[in-house]
Structure 1
Amino acid sequence: MTRWGAPRLWLSNWRTATIGAVALAIATATGLQAAATTLDDPPVPPTPPVITATYHGTEITNCLDQTVCPETAVLGESVTFTFIATSPDVVRHQYGFIGTGAESIDGNTVTITLAPPDQGWNRLDVQSINELGQFSTTASFLFNVGPRPGPLGSWGFDDGTGITAADGPGLTHPLNLGGGTAFDGKGRVNGSVALDGVDDFAQAGDAVVDTSQSFTISAWARPTNSTKRGVVAAVTGTDSNAFALFYDAAARRWVFARSSADAKNPTLYRAASKEAPINGAWAHLIGTYDAATGRLQLFVNGRLQQSTTSSTTPAWRAAGPLMIGRGKYSGALSGWFAGSLDQINLWQRVLVADEIPGLVDPRIGSSGNDRIASGGAAYWPLDDAAQGTDHVWRTAEAVRGADLTLAGFGSPAGAFVDDPEYGRVLELTGRSRESLTLNRSVVDGSTSFTVAARVKIGDPAKPMVIARQGTTGKDTWRLEYKPVDEFTSQWIFARGDVASAAETVAIATVDRESVAGWHLLAGSYDGKPASASDPAGELGLTVDLRASDGSSERYTATPPRAGNTVVGAARTTGKSFTGRLDDLRLYAGVAGSFKLCEDYPGQDACGS
């Protein structure tokens, strides 16, 4: 706790200085009596300041002497304090909330805006400081801060069937589904809603939020058409959107925008993403509008993309309705979104920084925060292959139909064999021409993801790449096996760096003898969104879900985002996979042990 200044410390220094002054006075014969008078009349410290406070322009009562203290502010929002000096020689004030460090501000009477640090009781302590550096006694201001208001609308799209998406608990804005909009069970968090980009949409009965006031919208979006504009959500008027969160195909950017007026050709104030979306991958979007400053902000996957200031003219209030999957431009409905949407929320306030990580890395469970929620991005059972009408052999993907193309196999159908432990599995011989490829990404490498697979090494003396995503020059991520010497081997999860040829690796070092047989490898990247104090991500690797056989490593590089998904082949020759593979999965988000035990039953670490 900060130690506050006290007049006693000043007095000690003053006495020391005065002794020197007395000696000088005697030596110069200016009068012993004058020196004695100085000793008897030390400088007087300032009296404590008067503190006043307002919240949204309304005066707050100091509860120091109150028996009842109602909630007068909201956690995460600012309170304006005025420190009124009661001594004319005050030049500075030292202040701080209990439990935080002290700061100072220059001036005799000053006004400052501060955000209370805690919900419930908050006490601000202030001391005045005069020209001589003397501190007043402490003045305090006690007030009660209420919890942050929850969303006014929250749609998880976990309904499963029907034509209505229920609002969150206690909320009253259900969405009606139109066109061919349908629920599916493949969302970022449980279910989602799928839209075709032609005539699918969902719509509330009203605007849900007042667009002339501060608000925030958040959503998970998985676009599937990079060539057409797609609106995630908008609140509409007669001719235009009061705001819209959308994909701009011309700029290839996510955009959060508000319009200057309900007109056919209004001015648009925009905040845009720094990079293009990864088609087919989940992205988390947050748009905020601060009515007091006119500031718009867009966050993608928890990271601020752009902050812009719109016109100081008050924003207009749209009658609505809230539309999902489409918007309104020049009086006509347009911007039909193609892809999937999940977890859309609307607040009548600006979210603060510490609320963002919980949205980007959501948790599920009976209490709402039991375990990290990861969404299935891809699942290749690797049981068999079929030849298409184009004469290309492919093995099926079970989540979104992202089938892998087989190449280099003498008999593609014969590449899948019967295994006594896991039934039908993929077997590769280590020939460099053998591979399975998808010419796109299924996860965005700039945000959290997990890759997992069952692996059985065929030749423990040979280094080999199991699976990877990347280009011919750089791997976005890579799972591999490496023999170190005749006694030791390594399982490796590696990530590249956009800015250099360097790689960061998480390594699990094991006895060579333990490599024989089947193993479950799980490599994860935790992007750690919005952690200003430590922006580094983290790589993790587990073997058979045992923490003792795992590894983690800080990842400070700029992560590559995209690339082809490849199984069995490396970027360079000599590391083609030899052995058997089964059940390759990719997840959006960090897949925890609970999820992996669910998808890979039978692991000893999972228990019965």
Structure 2
Amino acid sequence: MIHALPPRSSGPAWSFAIGGARVSGGAPETGEWTHLLGLYDAETGKALLYVNGHEVGTAAEATPAEAAGAFQIGRARGAAGYRDRWHGDVGDVQVHDRVVVPDEVAELAYRKPKLLGHWSLENATDGVSPEQSGGAPLRLGTGASIYRGSDDSCIPDLDPDCTYVPPPLVGEGHLRLDGESGYAAADGPVVDTGDSFTLGVVVRLADSDPAHPMTVLSQAGEHTDAFKVRYEPSTHTWQLVMPVKDEAGAPEKVVSRIEGADGGEGQGHRLAVVYDDATDTIKLYLDGYTDAQATATLPAGRPSNGGLQIGRAQVGDGWGEYLHGDVDEVQAYAGALRDDDILGLGWDTDPCLC
């Protein structure tokens, strides 16, 4: 029997009961889908519970009796009849006559992320750069422009009058920001910060030693940024930063940092931030690598109604931390991409979410 236990001192939890054993763990969330798997291993005599692909609670010794009754969904049998009737939705019910191994559990629980937007930043018309599939565009502010590379009509090594033009970061163009007022922004929020999401971007600094912190991505909550990804020159690190609470002037917390200055040269870095609502963890990736994760401070009740910002963040009562550098291939997903998928972000095609 799998069901949700009523609230206790530590809050509500999922529960799997079989053969005199009960395993509990994981916190139910109203309105959120959860993948549950209760497992009994006859070889070990243990009962286990998985919530969203992760083992929770403590495996318990169980001695199940033969069950002759009909399989039930949404209710349990008690001494006085049926009870514990389920209020909510149920889907994709599967029953296995064998042990399901951990890798299978993770695959069963996996929900394929949905692409919300992909901005290649290769062109702009009247200060607006389109989304690849015709979705919400990004609007360019003063100090932001689209850089286009050479058309390869001349080769410097063969023609002394030909001036070398550096290629764009990816594809045929990228966004160039002046570090003073330049930015690009969507008219509204791109990702739901109360649910799982992924954001990816390619960025290259213009200076080897910037004078101040510079934000690459941010999205505003009601009173301050829900999160921001920035470069901190004093420590030469890329940082994922979130406020302690959604209040004006709330202190900020650096929940993840990775070293990786590019000195203003090369093909830039591929950054990604991934929030997994199922595990309440958030990660920052640099070129496909992550060395830190933190308990998320983005509960489902926190609003995030501001537009996605490229190249700036909220500072006090206005905007600041303007980025001086180049940005390309902004991608947004509903859902948490897996580590292998992160490696595919930052190219001019979407990663294979296999």
TM-score above 0.5 = yes
Q: Aligned letter for 2:339?
A: A
Structure 1: which 5+ runs fail to align? Answer: 1-54, 59-72, 86-91, 95-105, 129-140, 370-608
Q: Secondary structure at the match of 2:199?
A: strand
Whether contact under 8 Å (2:38, 2:47) holds in the other structure is: yes
Question: Out of 276, 279, 285, which is 2:264 matched to?
Answer: 279
CA 1:56 to 1:169, structure 2 compared with 1: closer, same or farther past 3 Å?
farther
In structure 1, what is the equivalent of residue 190 of structure 2?
A: 208
Structure number with larger C-alpha Rg: 1
Paired residue secondary structure (1:273):
strand
Question: 2:49 maps to which residue?
Answer: 111
- Which structure features the higher share of strand residues? 1
Structure 1 equivalent of residue 168 of structure 2: 187
Could you say which structure has the higher helix fraction?
Answer: 1
Query: In structure 2, what is the Cα distance between the partners aligned to 1:315 and 1:294?
Result: 13
Displacement after TM superposition at 1:240 (Å): 1.9
Q: Specify the alignment match of 2:336 in structure 1.
A: 350
Matched, 1:153 2:117: yes
Instruction: Specify which of 28, 35, 46 is matched with residue 79 of structure 1.
Output: 35
The reply to whether residue 255 of structure 1 matches residue 223 of structure 2 is no
Aligned residue identity for 1:111: L
Task: Determine the C-alpha separation between the residues in 2 that align with 1:144 and 1:339.
Answer: 42
Which structure 2 residues correspond to residues 113-262 of structure 1 after superposition, within 5 A?
A: 113=51, 115=53, 125-127=96-98, 148-159=112-123, 161-170=125-134, 172-185=135-148, 186-190=167-171, 191-225=173-207, 226-262=210-246
How many angstroms apart in 1 are the aligned matches of 2:118 and 2:27?
A: 26
| Structure-to-structure mapping, 1:530-569, within 5 angstroms | none
Cα separation, 1, equivalents of 2:340 and 2:96: 25
The residue that corresponds to 2:151 in the other structure is: none
* Residue pair 1:233, 1:245 contacting (<8 A) in 2 also: yes
Deviation at 1:314, TM superposition (A): 5.2
What does residue 31 of structure 1 align with?
Answer: none
Q: What's 1:340 paired with?
A: 326
Tell me the C-alpha RMSD between the 2 structures.
3.7
Name the CA shift for 1:108/1:205 in 2 (closer, same or farther; >3 Å).
Answer: same
SS at structure 1 position matched to 2:326: strand
Q: Deviations over 1:574-600 (max 9, x none)?
A: xxxxxxxxxxxxxxxxxxxxxxxxxxx
- Structure 2 counterparts to residues 388-407 of structure 1, below 5 A: none
Q: Distance in 1 between matches of 2:50 and 2:296?
A: 25
Tell me the distance in 2 between the aligned counterparts of 1:146 and 1:352. 9
Are 1:328 and 2:299 matched, yes or no? no
Instruction: Name the CA shift for 1:163/1:245 in 2 (closer, same or farther; >3 Å).
Output: same
Q: Counterparts in 2 of 1:280-429, with a 5 A limit?
A: 280-281=265-266, 282-311=268-297, 316-360=302-346, 362=347
Shift of 1:278: 3.3
- What do residues 210-234 of structure 1 show as CA deviations (whole Å, max 9, x unaligned)? 2122221110000113222211111
- Report the AA paired with residue 251 of structure 1: T
Using the alignment, how far apart are the partners of 1:239 and 1:57 within structure 2? Answer: 28
Secondary structure of the 1:355 match is helix
In the alignment, the residues of structure 2 paired with residue 266 and residue 315 of structure 1 have an alpha-carbon distance, to the nearest angstrom, of 19
- Tell me the number of residue pairs that the alignment of Structure 1 and Structure 2 aligns: 261
Q: What is the identity, as a one-letter code, of the residue corresponding to 1:187?
A: P
Give SS of 2:343's match: helix
Q: Which one scores higher on RCO, CA 8 angstroms, separation ≥ 6? A: 2
Q: Is the 8 A contact 1:288 1:296 kept in 2?
A: yes
Separation in 1, partners of 2:255, 2:110 = 32
CA distance in 2, matches of 1:312, 1:197: 29
Cα distance, 1:334 vs structure 2: 0.3
Percent pairwise identity: 22
TM-score w.r.t. length of structure 2? 0.63
Distance 2:216 2:298 in 1: 26
Q: Which residue of 1 aligns with 2:75?
A: none
Deviating more after overlay: 242-251 vs 159-168? 159-168
Counterpart CA distance in 2 for 1:337 and 1:248 is: 11
CA distance in 1, matches of 2:214, 2:311: 7
2-structure distance, mates of 1:124, 1:286: 37
Post-superposition shift, 1:200?
0.6
CA contact (8 A) 1:274 1:305 kept: no
Q: How much does 1:357 deviate?
A: 2.0
Q: 1:203, 1:238 → 2: CA distance?
A: 17
Distance in 1 between the 2:93 and 2:348 partners? 29
Name the TM-score, length of structure 1 as normaliser. Answer: 0.38
Could you say what secondary structure the match of 2:216 adopts?
strand
**Contact 1:79 1:115 (8 Å CA) reproduced:** yes
